[in-house]
Homo-oligomer: A and B are copies of this chain.
Amino acid sequence: MHSQNLINVITDALPTLNKSETKVAQVILSDPDAATRSSIATLAKKSQVSEPSVNRFCKRFNAAGFPDFKLKLAKSLASGIRFVNRNVNPDDDVTSYTPKIIDSTINTLALVRDKISHVRVNQVVDKLIQAKRIYFFGLGASGSVARDAENKFFRFNLPVSSHDDVLMQRMLASTGGAGDVFFVISHTGRTKEVVGVAEIARSNGSTVIGLTAANSPLADMCTLTLDVDVPENTDEYMPMASRIVHLVILDVLATGVTLRRGPDFLPHLEKIKNSLKPTRFPNED
């Protein structure tokens, strides 16, 4: 449901426009930003047409009127600029690469927000709630994601551990069984070792949940997967956005588990929080 960029729509419609509409279109396209700031009178003058012509032009593009048109144009500009400028160039300086990287992460998260399957999330929460034991597995960058997940889920008062050692993973997978949940994190879903471990766990009757790419070998091996398709463009040389997405999805899952546990569980979380107080300098305010 990504609404089409208004500027593209106008450009596409250009050949079908009549004389005065074309004039208006050209003026708008030549400087869309200026158009958003000008009144119908000034725009009419610039285009050398009458004001009603401009108004008709706006209505032709499904706007209620000129002000509404300007609004839509402004929105197109705002979202467009962010989309185009996503890549970091070799000659970028701090002031440009910093927002670019953050924007790119934001965009990816927005994408995931709109695409993630709520049904699937619910199913995974189900499995996690029922688990007698949870293992988080990951290698490389996903290793620290797994570790973060452990740090989050141990609070639920059940045996949780994270592992980034393949041999350890293999051994644990082979000793697991019903009631054990193996939560396997992998950006590509194609790492042979990881897929192998998932296969072992699965064949022993454990539940295997994958946080990984859709339709990957790992995904095929899992009881249940949370598909994440992160566009690769920023991850040219090192994983970036995918880790973040994985972490946020784990946040979502943890929240899901907390909510299912109900309000009686909150004092327990509070207790964990308070246990850290003596390790800290008191807050002055």
Which A residues form the contact surface with B (CB < 8 A)? 1-2, 36-37, 67-68, 70-71, 74-82, 88, 90, 92, 94-95, 97-99, 101-103, 105-107, 109-110, 112-113, 116, 118-119, 121-122, 125, 140-141, 143-145, 147-148, 151-152, 155, 188, 190-193, 195, 217, 236-240, 243-244, 247-248, 251-252, 254-256, 258-259, 262-263, 266, 269-270, 272-273, 276, 279-283
Q: Are A99 and B74 in contact (CB under 8 A)?
A: no
Question: Which are the 6 A-B pairs with shortest beta-carbon distances?
Answer: A78-B78, A239-B251, A75-B78, A237-B269, A144-B148, A102-B113
Question: Bound complex: CA of A276 vs CA of B74, how far in Å?
Answer: 43
Report whether A236 and B106 are in contact in the complex, using a CB–CB cutoff of 8 Å: no
Residues of B near A255 (CB, < 8 A) are 88, 97, 101, 237-239
* Beyond A88-B255, A90-B259, 9 extra complex contacts between A and B, CB < 8 Å: A78-B78, A80-B106, A102-B113, A141-B151, A144-B147, A147-B147, A190-B282, A236-B266, A237-B255
Number of copies: 2
Nearest CB in chain B: distance from A178 CB, A: 25
Cβ contact within 8 Å between A259 and B237: yes
Q: Is the CB of A190 within 8 A of B78?
A: no
Closest-by-CB residue of B relative to A100 is B255
User: Is A281 a contact of B217 with CB atoms below 8 Å?
Assistant: yes
Least CB separation from A166: chain B residue? B279
Q: Is the CB of B99 within 8 A of A113?
A: yes
The answer to whether residues A254 and B279 also contact, given A141-B151, A244-B247 and a CB cut-off of 8 A, is no
Contact of A270 among B80, B143, B237 (CB under 8 A): B237
Residue of B nearest to A120 (CB): B94
Are A269 and B98 in contact, with the CB atoms below 8 A? no
Q: Among the interface residues A88, A195, A270, which one has the most CB atoms of the partner chain B within 10 A?
A: A88
The one of B105, B121, B282 in contact with A98, judged by C-beta atoms closer than 8 angstroms, is B121
Smallest Cβ-Cβ distance to A107: which chain B residue: B80
5 A-B residue pairs with CB within 8 Å = A101-B251, A148-B243, A237-B266, A238-B269, A239-B251
**A237 x B155 contact (CB < 8 A):** yes
Taking the closest CB of chain B, its distance from the CB of A177, in whole angstroms, is 27
Q: Are A147 and B151 in contact (CB under 8 A)?
A: no
The answer to whether B79 touches A98 (Cβ under 8 A) is no
Q: Smallest CB-CB separation from A283: which chain B residue?
A: B190
Tell me, in angstroms, the Cα distance from A251 to B245 when the chains sit together.
Answer: 14
List of B residues within 8 angstroms of A276 by Cβ? 140, 191
Residue from the list B71, B140, B155, B238 in contact with A70, Cβ < 8 A: B71
